Amino acid sequence: MPQHSPQLSRHYQSGFNLIELLVVLVIAAVAFGVLLPAGESLLNRSRLIGATNEVYASLLFARNEATRRRQAFSVCALSTMNSTTCASGNQPVLAVFSGDSGSQIASGRTNPIDLPEGVSVSLNNISNQRLVFQRLGNRDPGADKAQPVFLAVSIDGQSRNIDVCFNGRILIRDAGSSQSECEQ
């Protein structure tokens, strides 16, 4: 049996050395640091789109109920789920209910929509913080026809607007666009 000299037989150890492992960890940390804010922004944008779609669906529901029942239906922002008074400013709850007068919510109130955490809605260019759809589906003429009425849905500094035209048409637009499509 031949003997092997220590110089001829070499054992190579498989695996990674410390420098290779550190290089991979640095690359992963840089990639994670770059992609995390982008992913968070995409998540917030997705939440904003979802909340906007919920508010849009509520507006369509109110308009459709007004035409179906041939009576006025209102939409307003609430400060809490149990609130009975329409509130101004950014609020986390949206309610649809029958009736069109006063600041108290009528008994014909449907289930309010509790928007996701961090999302708020506000009604703009409406004097009594109540958007009213008349029995034919058009917006209440008590609001100034020249002023575009819109709901602003916002989350973490991002927002989208939902325009409600005088004829009852409902349109979604990004908050960055300055002109309402109702005016065109």
In a domain, 78, yes or no: yes
- Indicate the helix (H) or strand (E) that contains 73: strand 73-78
> d(Cα 52, Cα 33) in Å, to the nearest integer?
30
Domain that holds residue 129: 18-183
Give the global pTM.
Answer: 0.74
What's 112's domain CATH number? 3.55.40.10
Which of 34-48, 53-67, 110-124 is predicted least confidently? 110-124
Give the pLDDT score at 140: 79
Cβ–Cβ contacts within 10 Å for residue 22, how many? 11
d(CA 162, CA 139): 14
Higher pLDDT, 107 or 119: 119
Select from 53, 182, 71, 55 the least CA-distant residue to 137. 71
**Is 11 contained in some domain?**
no
- Give which of 50, 76, 49 is closest to 62, Cα–Cα: 76
Whether residue 44 lies inside any domain: the answer is yes
- Considering its fold, how many domains does the chain have in total? 1
10 assigned to some structural domain: no
In a domain, 7, yes or no: no
User: Does 172 map to a domain?
Assistant: yes
Of 19-28, 65-74, 173-182, the poorest mean pLDDT is in 173-182
6 in a structural domain: no
pLDDT at site 1 = 55
